[in-house]
Structure 1
């Protein structure tokens, strides 16, 4: 009779041992979980590898991109343009950015920005305006029309998170991006480049805004455009001002690494909520190419 007694007692003991072992392994596994997985769970919009200066200053980011033309005949509210987008959706959907050229200019004048920004995990539409002479308010409406087209009717709409949108532009296009930010406060970011606008007060801007100006701009001098624009935006909106040393009004019309680096970091931080990029916003860039940098230092 002793043998069955031993057998009956050993089974619960074995079961308990197994449960204890499973609990220990689970605890060890939880402790060993990679920080990246925890970050991804905390921020579902994080895209791409951990950022570095070299990554931001490279001619392309980590995502391969493709492009497609948009005919003016197929859209309303703006003059068509070019869409740039990451070819893979393995990491999910992306935020989107609409960019306007300046007065009398075509998208081709600043088209290097399209693939550069898209390669960091954004869908970008570089627009042609209805008229080369459209003023900032009109350009602002056209930027918003382009975003609506991207998210509602374009062939890449399935790649876009319609809740994560931004605007940018050069000169009157930059002034137009401020107009768009006031009109649609749900935007996640605005990046005016050498912005021009007759309106100097932007206290109504609630969108996180990075203004980039050129020290030697004679068309939209920073003293009467970029600087008062920046100063008038409430600090509660999150804002930054970057002035490029010796740059003219036309610095966005050729590849400009400080502009690309800061614009991408700003878009990643506020469109993707990616706090890994705060290191590039606060304290911000410095060096021979930078005349001045001011900001409110974003809070996570």
Structure 2
């Protein structure tokens, strides 16, 4: 995926000017938390202005809350079109500029309350997150995909927090038919930078046209959308040239994404950070591929990532 060119010469020029002026680089440019020298900090910031938050650790990505304080605002279905309203969760600070954004759809017969736990959890790590209600609880994946995109358009163009959102850094998630909808949304809008279907359901099993980095999450005990007929075919059909991954949860069911789950949060967050924010600090949690464990039945993917 193309990214904006990063200015690389500025730190060197500044260092030279500081030397002429008799100043030290340490005095002129405060050190970043994740570097040992000020010049390196400036270079990192110049190369990726989208990094948000301190250096991640295993503990920080598994935490119930990240470093950002979060506020939320309700969106009435009467005030929008194309989807059924929802809740926006966002970092309260404006010091760090804009944030990438994610919209999340619930599954068949469900409302946003079923996936509400993901809102503050992801927002506290440095995203604007919107959990939505669908037009009807019976909407199918293709409709949910259109509604995810309508919600993204509302979030970036008309919402109260639109000035906090970077409209070039967007992703989608969803549970069950909402997960199938996230694949539909990525198919319709290739500019999306991340998709994460959670125990997704869709009659369409083949997605070779996707150009959005996609993390497919399945559950070994899913009897509603069994991995053999849903998540695995979804993953296997994705282009091999695409950054893609398949996470199969161990000792989990179709409804596991409806309650707080550390493994889902950990790898969803890492995927969104890596591809929406282009934050390579999170690559360490995705590559080398995670090994089977008490919570992971299987993990497949391409490493290192190319985007």
Q: Scaled by the length of structure 2, what TM-score is found?
A: 0.88
- Kept in 1, the 8 Å contact 2:107–2:177? The answer is yes
Shift of the alpha carbon at 1:146? 0.1
Which ranges of structure 1 fall in alignment gaps of 5 or more residues? 1-18
> Given the alignment of the two structures, is residue 131 of structure 1 paired with residue 125 of structure 2, yes or no?
no
Question: What is the RMSD computed on CA atoms of the aligned residues?
Answer: 1.8
1:199-214 map, 5 Å: 199-214=204-219
**Residue from 120, 123, 127 that aligns with 1:118:** 123
> Given the alignment of the two structures, is residue 267 of structure 1 paired with residue 272 of structure 2, yes or no?
yes
Which ranges of structure 2 fall in alignment gaps of 5 or more residues? 1-15, 30-35
Are the structure 2 counterparts of residues 32 and 62 from structure 1 closer, same or farther at C-alpha, using a change threshold of 3 Å? closer
> Given the alignment of the two structures, is residue 184 of structure 1 paired with residue 180 of structure 2, yes or no?
no
**Residue from 279, 284, 300 that aligns with 1:279:** 284
Distance 1:210 1:80 in 2: 26
Shift of the alpha carbon at 1:24? 9.7
Shift of the alpha carbon at 1:123? 0.5
**Residue from 246, 257, 267 that aligns with 1:241:** 246
Are the structure 2 counterparts of residues 22 and 172 from structure 1 closer, same or farther at C-alpha, using a change threshold of 3 Å? closer
Distance 2:90 2:289 in 1: 28
Distance 1:211 1:188 in 2: 14
How many residue pairs end up in the alignment? 281
1:32-181 map, 5 Å: 32-181=37-186
Are the structure 2 counterparts of residues 26 and 284 from structure 1 closer, same or farther at C-alpha, using a change threshold of 3 Å? farther
Aligned to 1:252: 257
Distance 2:161 2:24 in 1: 43
Aligned to 1:299: 306
Aligned to 2:225: 220
Q: Which moves more between the two structures, 67-76 or 36-45?
A: 36-45
- Kept in 1, the 8 Å contact 2:247–2:298? The answer is yes
Shift of the alpha carbon at 1:35? 2.8
Please list the CA deviations of residues 166-206 of structure 1 after superposition, one character each: whole Å capped at 9, or x if unmatched.
00000000000000000000001000000000000000110
Paired residue secondary structure (1:63): coil
Please list the CA deviations of residues 70-124 of structure 1 after superposition, one character each: whole Å capped at 9, or x if unmatched.
0000000000010000000211100000000000001101110000011111001
Please list the CA deviations of residues 195-229 of structure 1 after superposition, one character each: whole Å capped at 9, or x if unmatched.
00000000011000001110010000000000000
Are the structure 2 counterparts of residues 101 and 28 from structure 1 closer, same or farther at C-alpha, using a change threshold of 3 Å? closer
Paired residue secondary structure (1:41): helix
Larger % of helix: which? 1
Q: Scaled by the length of structure 1, what TM-score is found?
A: 0.90
* Max Rg structure: 1
Distance 2:47 2:19 in 1: 27
